[in-house]
Amino acid sequence: MKRFMAMLDRNKSKDPPPAKLLDLAAQLCRDLQSSFPSLEKLVGAMMGCRHKMFFLTNIHVVRASVSVHLRQGQHDTACRLLENCKAEEKEELVQLWHEIHYQKVMAKLQVDCLTPLQKFRCRKRNPPPLSLCPEGLKTRSYSDEVRRQLRSFAAEVTANPDKKQREELAKDMNLQPAQIYNWFANYRRRQKS
């Protein structure tokens, strides 16, 4: 830690900072995960310097910074940090985004954990920004063509296909049999209501 602080001080005017400094920061973030006071000091030094955006290109630094902000109850600061970071690991950044919002809801509800439904609602209410998902969130809904074929099968053949029919449909539509099973179960539920 002392070595990092000395290097940071020596290189505060260099643009960009040396790769050695960035690598050391990432290593320290990994090593200090279980030592919160030291991690807090490290993150404070990185986020307080002019090279902040260079540090935020490394997922270990981003993860440590988000962790510190969450522990301090600074949910909005953690969100802004994620919105502006340039780390390449977009899937992990999206997971961190969701975790921030889960923590926010848990603090609001004063609970230790959320149910799957609460997590789902939290994700729907707080979608990640375009900076984390430039292509948009992946949805699990089926294409119009697949839905049309499934509705046609339900109307013309049966809304409750047996295992063999589900396997054939799955093979024809490049889906899993479980997906076909769930689609028809949801279809029958929608028809009742």
Q: pTM value?
A: 0.67
Cα–Cα distances in Å, from 16 out to 13, 51, 73?
Answer: 9, 8, 31
Residue closest to 64 by CA, chosen among 34, 106, 23, 102 = 34
Tokens at 66, concatenated: 């988000």
Same-domain pairing of 42 and 122: yes
Same domain flag for 175 and 149:
yes
Q: Which range (6-20, 53-67, 129-143) has the least confidence?
A: 129-143
- Look at residue 138 and tell me if it is in a domain: no
Q: Are 96 and 59 in contact (CB under 8 A)?
A: no
Whether residue 14 is found in the same domain as residue 106: yes
pLDDT classification of 140: cutoffs 50, 70, 90: low
31 with 115, same domain? Answer: yes
- Residue 139 in this model has a pLDDT that exceeds 80: no
| Amino acid making up residue 117 | L
Same-domain check for residues 84 and 177:
no
Better pLDDT: 92 or 137: 92
Same domain? 68 vs 7: yes
- Average confidence (pLDDT) over 67-82: 91
* Residue 139, in any domain of the structure: no
Domain span including residue 186: 144-192
Q: Are residues 87 and 18 in the same domain?
A: yes
Instruction: Please give the tally of structural domains in the chain.
Output: 2
Per the model's pLDDT, the better-predicted residue between 137 and 85 turns out to be: 85
